[in-house]
Structure 1
Amino acid sequence: MKRSNLFEFEDFQWFPNIWRKPMTRLLLVVHRMFKTEPVITNLINDVLNQTGQKKIIDLCSGSGGPMELVYNNLKEEHAELEMVMTDLYPNQEAAKAINDKKNGISFRTTSVNALEVPSDLAGVRTMICSFHHMPPKVARGILENAKVSHQPIVVFELSDNSFPKLLAWTAFPINMILCLFITPLARPMTWYQLVFTYLIPLIPIFYAWDGAVSNLRTYTISDLDELLNGLEDETYTWKKEVIKQGNSKFLTLVGMPV
């Protein structure tokens, strides 16, 4: 496999929220910059239309990412749609903020393992910019669980890991500079985001590392072929695709029961 098994700072439970939250906000800015929302919306909408499902089960939700906006888009066509956000280590603060809105989205406050999704969580499973965090054995297990459970799954990644590995590391200095420019676009803005970006520039370092590494950890199309070996049969189909939008390339994988 081309995918590299490296770490990201946000993987670690000990990584302080005073840095984690600003990086999460920066990721939302990046989603807006790359216009991922309509791409994700269209992917899920196609699956909803083909399967007749009325619920989205978002796996590895973190703090929610762009999925609240995606859900609002989908509601225009699917009035009865519900979405449940889940995580192995639920962010209780994010869960409370989402649950308090009572807008059709709920965040399960107990742990949900994407390898063994509970049977009561039936619906279109989504993994948005989180699949690359999974090592191959876990990644295959997640896909296999969706197949065995006869549930559709949509995987979306911000890149397709098509750059040569050495060139991919040029993203580190670029990301550091980018962080300085996009920070004013982050909302809500906090004093600690400004301090640890411009006065004590730790966030740009963490952000630059995680951004460069997340690309190197992303599964390529050929990597997906390896993961899916033996998982495609007459009961379940897979569609893998690199979607090009401007200068961006998004890796996508959609699995559906027949």
Structure 2
Amino acid sequence: MGVMESLPRIHFVELHDLDRTPPVLRTLHTESITTIYRLTDAAREYARPLARALREGADPRIVDLCAGSGGPVPLIQRRLHREGIHTSVTLTDLVPNVGAFERVEASNRRVLPSCCSVDHESSSVDATDCRVPGTRTIYGAFHHFPPALARRMLQNAVDTRSPIVIVDTKRSWLYVLLFPFFTTLAVLLAAPFQRNPLPRYLLRLVLTYLVPVLPFMMFFDSVVSFLRMYGRGELRSMVDGLDGTESFTWTIGVERGFTGAQYLIGIPRS
């Protein structure tokens, strides 16, 4: 599995997770992450674990937890539609970015038929105590949760017999050393092309080029993210310790490709 896989996870705090981080700065940051998903075509690799779960009987109603400013799931939905897999998606977050969710919905209505809808929950949804029915997805956010909360999230899925698909980046020194530079460069190059209301667009330019808060934030949070990623052994120990874990089939693996997509799939047994 490699040297880094055997090292313990380090739970630092990302800047955009801090309570004192202004909401507008957090929004600009998560919008940059969504843009990076598009630039890297992350949906190509990220779609495979969800497609596998759906083929194994997961509910085609997708409940995307910790969706940020839309995340990759709407892009994944489009790719699955081209492959003949039809889903409906509900975007949720503990602090929902309703404006971003509505823009994603409008965009998807223009390119997808009614068989593949996107909607959102405008009220707060706690990923550790979710009540929205469907297959839960967590893309690029599971590492934000310390072990106790991560286990609670998985336990809630088991208790409610909800399929769950978690995708993050694998733990690798290559990603720790190279990806922060790539994501920071993406922020610098993409800022002028971000679609934002004019005041926020101008603020993005100021915080990217005049006072480079957003590039610094992306670099710092990228480094911390990779140090916080769960290894496959840690994921296995986590699911083995759940109450009623034998009622689920768990699959842990990594998709080959640029993004290094590591996944955990949980499907209720019939």
Q: TM-score category by the smaller chain?
A: 0.7 to 0.9
Q: Deviations over 1:133-186 (max 9, x none)?
A: 1010000111111112111100011x212229xx93676566545533343454
What is the match of residue 112 of structure 2? none
- Number of residue equivalences: 251
What is the match of residue 79 of structure 2? 73
What is the match of residue 188 of structure 2? 180
1:162 aligns with 2:168: no
Equivalent residues of 1:162, 1:220 under 8 A apart: no
Equivalent residues of 2:31, 2:69 under 8 A apart: no
| Matching of residues 40-79 of structure 1 within 5 Å | 40-51=46-57, 53-76=59-82, 77-79=84-86
CA distance 1:195–1:136, change in 2 (3 Å)? same
User: Residue 155 of structure 1: SS of its match in structure 2?
Assistant: strand
Q: In the aligned structure 1, how far is the partner of 2:263 from the partner of 2:96?
A: 25
What is the match of residue 150 of structure 1? 161
Task: Give the counterpart of 1:240 among 252, 267, 270.
Answer: 252
Q: In the aligned structure 2, how far is the partner of 1:2 from the partner of 1:11?
A: 21
Q: In the aligned structure 1, how far is the partner of 2:202 from the partner of 2:108?
A: 29
Task: Give the counterpart of 1:84 among 90, 110, 127.
Answer: 90
CA distance 1:178–1:42, change in 2 (3 Å)? closer
What is the match of residue 25 of structure 1? 31
Q: Deviations over 1:14-68 (max 9, x none)?
A: 4234433332232123223432102222221221222152301111111111221
User: Residue 51 of structure 1: SS of its match in structure 2?
Assistant: coil
Equivalent residues of 1:58, 1:126 under 8 A apart: yes
Name structure 1 gaps, 5 residues minimum.
none
The letter of the residue matching 1:163 is W
1:193 aligns with 2:207: no
| Matching of residues 212-231 of structure 1 within 5 Å | 212-231=223-242
User: Residue 64 of structure 1: SS of its match in structure 2?
Assistant: coil
Task: Give the counterpart of 1:15 among 12, 17, 21.
Answer: 21
Over the residues paired in the alignment, what is the CA RMSD in angstroms?
2.7
Q: In the aligned structure 1, how far is the partner of 2:64 from the partner of 2:234?
A: 23
Task: Give the counterpart of 2:119 among 106, 113, 117.
Answer: 106
Name structure 2 gaps, 5 residues minimum.
1-6, 110-116
Percent identical pairs in the alignment equals 28
Equivalent residues of 1:175, 1:208 under 8 A apart: yes
Q: In the aligned structure 2, how far is the partner of 1:9 from the partner of 1:56?
A: 29
Whose helix fraction is larger, Structure 1's or Structure 2's? 2
Q: In the aligned structure 2, how far is the partner of 1:30 from the partner of 1:101?
A: 17
What is the match of residue 210 of structure 1? 221
1:123 aligns with 2:134: yes
CA distance 1:141–1:93, change in 2 (3 Å)? same
Equivalent residues of 1:98, 1:107 under 8 A apart: no
Range with greater deviation from structure 2 (56-65 or 42-51): 42-51
User: Residue 113 of structure 1: SS of its match in structure 2?
Assistant: coil
What is the match of residue 39 of structure 1? 45
Equivalent residues of 2:46, 2:167 under 8 A apart: yes
